[in-house]
Every structure is written in C-alpha cells, then in structure tokens.
A and B are shown apart, each in its own frame.
Chain A
Amino acid sequence: MSAVEFRGVWKRYGEVDAVKDLNLDCIDGEFLALLGPSGCGKTSSLRMLAGLESISEGDILIGERRINDMPPKDRDIAMVFEDYALYPHLSVFDNIAFPLKVRKVARETIRQRVEHAIDLLGLDSLRGENVQQLSGGAQQRVSIGRAIVRDPQVLLMDEPISHLDASHKVELRGELKRLQRNLGVSTVYVTHDQVEAMALADRLVVMNHGVLQQKGRPQLLYDRPANLFVAGFIGEPPMNFLPCTLIEAESCLRGDHFRLPVGQEFIQRLAPERGEELILGVRPSHLKFQSSNTAIGLAGTVFSVEPRGDSAVVVVDIGSHRLLVEANQFHGASMGENVCLNVTEESLHLFDALTERNLVRVG
C-alpha cells in the first residue's frame, strides 16, 4: 500500500514552475529521500505534502485519500524541522506529550503513548531532563518522539541534520536510519546531500529544475544513472565526464588525447537513437593505475594528490580534462608524474551529449 502518492503534481509560483508533473509514491514503512540541488523542487514538494503550500495541479494522496484541500492538521502527518523546534522550557516528557495535550487527548492515553515513544527512542533516562541540556542526538530523538507520538501515517523531514558538522552528521545519520527502521513509520526526507540520501534511503527520488530525474534504490541510481545529471550528482568523488565520439569502424571511443577500445558487444548494447556527440562517464573508483604504459588506456599527468587516510584522490590531467581517480593509500603517485589509467568496459557509462540520456542498456 502507498503511504503517499503524487499524481501529476505541479507547483507554480507565478511564471515559475517549481515542480513539474511529479509522479512518485512512498510505500508503507519506506524511507523515501527527495534529493537534489537547491531550487530543484524537493522542498516545494514536501511543503505541498505537508499542506504548507497549495497544489497548483494534480493530486496528492496520503494513505490513498486525496488530501489536496485538507488543512495540515487533518492530514495525519508529522514534521521534523532542521532546528528541532523543541519547547525550551519543557522536559523531554512534556515536549513529546505536547501535541496530544493540545488536542485534549485523555491524560492516561497521553501517558501510554508518550511512554511508548520514550521506550522506542531510548529516552527513558532523560525523560525529566530539560531539552536544552541534551546532546544533538538526544534532541533529535525527542523531536522525532514528538512527531511520532500521534502515530502519523507519514513522517516528513526537511534537511534535519544539514547544519551539523561532519562527524556528528555521520553519527546521527546511522541513528536516524535505525530509529526509522524500528518505528516502521513511512518517511519522506528532503536533502541536498547525496551521501546522506544514499545512506538513509530505501529509495531515492532525484530532482532537478522541478523535474524528476530518476527514482529507485540508491545502489541502482549509482550503478545505472538514467542521465548525465543523476550520474554527476550521485557519488563522491563525482563521476568523470569526457566528451567523445564512437568510431564504430575502429571499435573505439575517441576524445581529446585518448582512445579507448570497446568491444562489439558493448556497441550493440548502446541505444540506437543517439547523436554523434557522446559523453563518456567513469567513476573515480573504476579508474585503476596501470604499471606499464601500454597502448590501451588513458595516459596523462598527475595534477595533484589528495590523501584521505585510507585512500587518496589522485587528480590526473588527460588532454584538457581533469580526472579524479580514487586510489588506495599505497598508490605511489606523485605530482607531475606521467601515469596510465585502466578502466573495464563494464564500468563505462555513455551519455548522449544532446539528450544527456544514458545510452548503455541493461542486460
């Protein structure tokens, strides 16, 4: 069953189409992430779902009920904001109880529901604490507690951890995922951070300029990006792109300062509707250093080496292109050195330069 469904949804602000013909669904119990750069329409979409923005066209369903004209409080949703928006003068218990108190729910029911939330979120030892004294992680849990205490159909989150420093983010990310799994609540989560989205989501929806680019499991979008935008947006370090053309007679891809042989099978698998101008895509982790300088491969010069501890990003100039190579810490490359890079055919992505679509078909 779908917890949430968008059917042909548009959002217009005057002349500007912020969201165009959006069709998506969030399956019951699923963690769905809306991912894209600022201005892509993800926040507008979330706000339409919440009832904070009107829907220009199309329908939004929650639990299979059309909610377009329903005020936020009747939509059976709960929202967690970036700043948690906890009531500073109240304890953990009272913060979580608040939404129920406001709705004049019976005292005993409040107690039971709040205890349940506290138990699920591991807040028992902190129940009486003033929320301002708590760590970021604890505050996040209280914020979620307050959201789920009403047992909403859907939990909405708008970049709840984007303001944190890197190490806290990593920590809270894992906790958030675990909590959502334990609670089993359908969650729609908005972020511009693709690492965060990859880590948390059961399924990702990538948007750009108001248009849905691709949706599916994170690993699918990573392995088989539908277009140039998704390919370049997902993955850290980002995918390398090299403009080229396919010389079928020579069974190779040719570009500025490189010539990459490809097999006939590879060529057969390419979508027949394609232009002359192509873009070769290779992920930094799929480029390997070759010990010997053979005819096959990409030859270039090391521009810089960026150590990362357990790995390194080696930046290599090939013709006018600057490629990122993800290597282990024993790569031995140094600035100015001439190197040769190898790549397997399976790891090649090929995009039409005009339509930007991925030409490599699955199977």
Chain B
Amino acid sequence: MAKVSFEKVSKRFGHTHALRDLDLECDSGRLTVVLGHSGAGKTTLLRLIAGLEIADSGQIKIGDKLVNELPCRERNISMAFESYALYPGKTVLENMAFSFQSGALGAATPPDDARRQVGRIAELLQIELLLDRLPRQLSGGQRQRVALGRALVRDAAVHLLDEPIAHLDAKLRHRLRGELKHLQIESGRTTVWCTPDQIEAMAIADKIVVFNRGVKIQEGAPMDLYERPRNRFVAGSLGDPAINFFDADVEQRGDAWYLATPQWSLPVTDTNAAPLHYLNDHRRVSVGIRPSDIVIHRDRPEIPAFEADVLVLEELGSYSVVTAQVGDQSFKVKSGSDVALELDAGARAWFAPDASRYHFFHPESGEAL
C-alpha cells in the first residue's frame, strides 16, 4: 500500500503540454478518480506513474521512493489500460494468472491459490464462463474485462485503471462500479482510476481530481466539489443535467441582496450572498444554479419567481427535464413533480430558483467568488 505523489511534474509531447506543473497526492489505500475529457491529461498521468512515460520535470514518488528513473516492471504497479494487450496465445485463465506464473509476486504462488483468486475476480467481472477461451474468441467488452481482471488479480502497491468499464453496457457498468469499489475498500489498494464520466466519478471516488487540458483544476471529495466548485469549469463538470449559467447584476437594498436581469429580479439568502458582500452595488456576476434547484409552478407562486417559455419537455420516468427560455437565456430544470408533466412546448410557466443555492463566479475569469 503506497501513496503516489506528483511534485511539479510536467510532460510535453512536441508542442502539447500533456501535464503542466502538477502537484498531486493519491492517498494510500484510497480510490482517486481523475476526471476529464479526452486530451485532459488523464492517460499521461497514469502512464507516468506506471513508468511508460518519463516526466520532463518534477518528481514522482510511490511511497517515499522517487521513481522517475525506475523501470516500469520494478515499480510494483498493476495496470488496466485501454489497449487490452492480452497474450493472444493464452487462455483467459492463463492471461489473468500470468503474474502468478511468472513469479512476479516473489515466491511462486501454488496453482490452487492462483486459480481461486482468478476465479473470484472472474466471477466479479462475470467472465467465469470464459476462462478457457482465447482472446480472439471474445467480444470487445469481454476482452476489456479480462484485461481489468488481470490487473485486479495482481496484488500490487498501486492499481492504475484507465477507463476500465467504459465500453460495457449500462447495466454491467452499474454493477461493476459497486463491485470494484468494494473490492478496493476490502483490499485497501491505492487505486488511480481515470474516466470522462462524472456520474461514475461521483459514485466511486474517495477523491476526484478534475483536469482540463493538462492542468489540475480542483481536487476533493465528490460532494465537496459539487457543493463548492472553485470555478465555472468544475461547476459545469459535475451534475446532470449540467448547471445553468447566466449573467446578472448584483443589487443591495438595505440588508437584502438581489440578482437582476432585464427580465426579473430575485432575492438571495443572507448566507448564500456572503461572497457578494465584497462587490460594489450594480456589479455584474456570473451566476450558476443547478437544474434541480429550480421549482416549476403552473401559476405565479407566493415565493419569488420569474415567468418563462417552455421550449422542450423530456419525460425520463421518475423525473422530467424542462428546457425553458427567458429573454435570450435558455436553461434547464429537473423536476420530480407532476407539474412538469402538464407543460408542453409553447406553454408559459413560473420558475422559482432556491434562493440559498446560487453559485457566484467572476464574469470574466469564471473563478468562484
């Protein structure tokens, strides 16, 4: 069990900065999820830990050991990367048990023990019936699971998983998420898992690290990032549907704070307005409000609300997503109530944002106020 740390690590490929000046700690025994789109730097990060790439600058440590110069096979890591790299001439069982056979774990493990461990992981990944097959006889999704299984069977200090369940069907993905999380907790393995899927990241991570174009933007526990995003990018990265953004003027009337647009003016609770206290009156802010923090009303409610045109209604079973427009601003509302179901394109409705749930950002930099 070991902590992985990056100190001012940079990596370039030609003119592209894959990673810039990265400081990061992946805590020992914890599941750290690196969240970002393709090109964000996630795979480079894993490859640097694995030793498949050499950093241009900075220090990479596994445990307290500086590993920059250490070859891949001496790093005691296990990896499941997108290129499955299964041994084509070996069966699924042999592929997964390979690390036992090669004595990579020190003294050779007795065959019964190896088979049992492989069996356990195979069952977890629902590939136990494929143990005698060769890789070419498997579907893409099955091969992905074998590669993952091979990495999981290894008892290494650090486990590196690059989008390990990406290409599987929704149901299996759902199931494996929970199983893999549990496995990680039981085994206490330091795991670094990359994904572009924010629902996945929120579901399993002890810590999420949000990346954008090679730069670490913010790290923290899932709900911490969700509730206290440090900028618009992070706010927009978590939550489905994504957070709504609009520009508004801040107004102070006595002790009360208001947000104003050409179409409406709405109050902000005292606590929520704290970041606004440092602004002058009539200052522009960029405001974020989550789709689930706006309530729809058919008729004008008693509480502060604004009227808008409904553009689209999407009924998703247990909830609906309403897309509406006020002025030239369109926004989305997530609603569990029946009120949404009575609406349709062309209808007008009243929308009441939760006055305690606004996020405020600097209109130019996008940094949280």
Does the CB pair B178–A195 fall under 8 Å? no
Given contacts A166-B197, A170-B240, A174-B314, contact A307 B290 (CB under 8 A): no
Residue of B nearest to A181 (CB): B345
Interface size class for chain A? Answer: 35 or more
Q: Does A331 contact B (CB under 8 A)?
A: no
Q: Does A199 contact B (CB under 8 A)?
A: yes
* A-B interface pairs (CB < 8 A), number: 101
Residues from chain A with Cβ under 8 Å of B312 in the complex:
174, 177-178, 181
Give bound CA distance, A345 to B301, whole Å.
Answer: 33
Contact with B along A218-232 (1 / 0, CB 8 A): 110010000000001
Does the CB pair A285–B323 fall under 8 Å? no
Residue of A nearest to B181 (CB): A304
Interchain nearest-CB distance for B220 vs A (Å): 12
Q: Does B182 contact A (CB under 8 A)?
A: yes
Given contacts A170-B242, A177-B312, contact A222 B317 (CB under 8 A): yes
Does the CB pair A308–B203 fall under 8 Å? yes
Question: Interface-forming stretch among A16-24, A111-119, A149-157, A234-242?
Answer: A234-242
Interface size class for chain B? Answer: 35 or more
Does the CB pair A283–B178 fall under 8 Å? no
Does the CB pair B311–A174 fall under 8 Å? yes
Does the CB pair A173–B314 fall under 8 Å? yes
Does the CB pair B204–A198 fall under 8 Å? no
**Which residues of B223-245 are within 8 A (CB) of A?**
223, 226, 236, 238-242
Give bound CA distance, A309 to B203, whole Å.
Answer: 10
Residues from chain B with Cβ under 8 Å of A177 in the complex:
312, 314
Given contacts A166-B198, A322-B178, contact A309 B321 (CB under 8 A): no
Does the CB pair B242–A307 fall under 8 Å? no
Does the CB pair B238–A309 fall under 8 Å? yes
Q: Does B8 contact A (CB under 8 A)?
A: no
Contact with B along A162-191 (1 / 0, CB 8 A): 000111001001100110010000000000
Residues from chain B with Cβ under 8 Å of A170 in the complex:
240-242, 321, 332
Contact with B along A284-296 (1 / 0, CB 8 A): 0100000000000
Residue of B nearest to A218 (CB): B315
Residues from chain A with Cβ under 8 Å of B177 in the complex:
306
Interchain nearest-CB distance for A192 vs B (Å): 8
Give bound CA distance, A316 to B241, whole Å.
Answer: 26
Q: Does B191 contact A (CB under 8 A)?
A: no
Given contacts A306-B178, A307-B222, A315-B178, contact A198 B314 (CB under 8 A): yes
Residues from chain B with Cβ under 8 Å of A84 in the complex:
none
Most B CB within 10 A of own CB, among A200, A237, A309: A309
Does the CB pair B202–A306 fall under 8 Å? yes
- Judged by DSSP, the binding face of A is mixed
Most B CB within 10 A of own CB, among A174, A285, A311: A174
Interchain nearest-CB distance for B138 vs A (Å): 16
Given contacts A165-B37, A166-B198, A218-B315, contact A238 B171 (CB under 8 A): yes
Interchain nearest-CB distance for A316 vs B (Å): 11
Q: Does A37 contact B (CB under 8 A)?
A: yes
**Which residues of B175-202 are within 8 A (CB) of A?**
177-178, 181-182, 185, 196-199, 202
> Looking at the complex, which one of A235, A303, A309 makes contact with B178 (CB distance below 8 Å)?
A303
Given contacts A37-B169, A174-B312, contact A304 B198 (CB under 8 A): no
Q: Does B316 contact A (CB under 8 A)?
A: yes
Give bound CA distance, A270 to B331, whole Å.
Answer: 44
Does the CB pair B290–A306 fall under 8 Å? no
Contact with B along A74-85 (1 / 0, CB 8 A): 000000000000
Does the CB pair A235–B314 fall under 8 Å? no
Q: Does B318 contact A (CB under 8 A)?
A: yes
Q: Does B334 contact A (CB under 8 A)?
A: yes
Does the CB pair A167–B242 fall under 8 Å? yes
Q: Does A15 contact B (CB under 8 A)?
A: no
Does the CB pair B332–A307 fall under 8 Å? no
Q: Does B12 contact A (CB under 8 A)?
A: no
Q: Does A326 contact B (CB under 8 A)?
A: yes
Does the CB pair B223–A174 fall under 8 Å? no
Q: Does A55 contact B (CB under 8 A)?
A: no
Residue of A nearest to B311 (CB): A178
Q: Does A49 contact B (CB under 8 A)?
A: no
Contact with A along B256-274 (1 / 0, CB 8 A): 0000000000000000000
Q: Does B170 contact A (CB under 8 A)?
A: yes
**Which residues of A240-293 are within 8 A (CB) of B?**
283, 285
Given contacts A37-B169, A306-B178, A309-B226, contact A235 B321 (CB under 8 A): no
23 A-B pairs (CB sep. < 8 Å): A165-B196, A166-B240, A167-B241, A167-B242, A170-B242, A174-B312, A181-B345, A199-B316, A200-B314, A219-B315, A232-B171, A236-B316, A303-B178, A303-B182, A304-B181, A307-B202, A307-B222, A307-B226, A308-B202, A309-B226, A309-B240, A310-B334, A326-B318
Q: Which 4 A-B pairs have the closest CB atoms?
A: A306-B203, A199-B314, A310-B292, A285-B318
Residue ranges of B at the interface with A (Cβ–Cβ < 8 Å): 37, 169-171, 174, 177-178, 181-182, 185, 196-199, 202-204, 222-223, 226, 236, 238-242, 290, 292-293, 311-312, 314-318, 321, 323, 332, 334, 341, 345
Residue ranges of A at the interface with B (Cβ–Cβ < 8 Å): 37, 165-167, 170, 173-174, 177-178, 181, 195, 198-200, 218-219, 222, 232, 234-238, 283, 285, 303-304, 306-311, 313, 315, 322, 324, 326, 329, 335
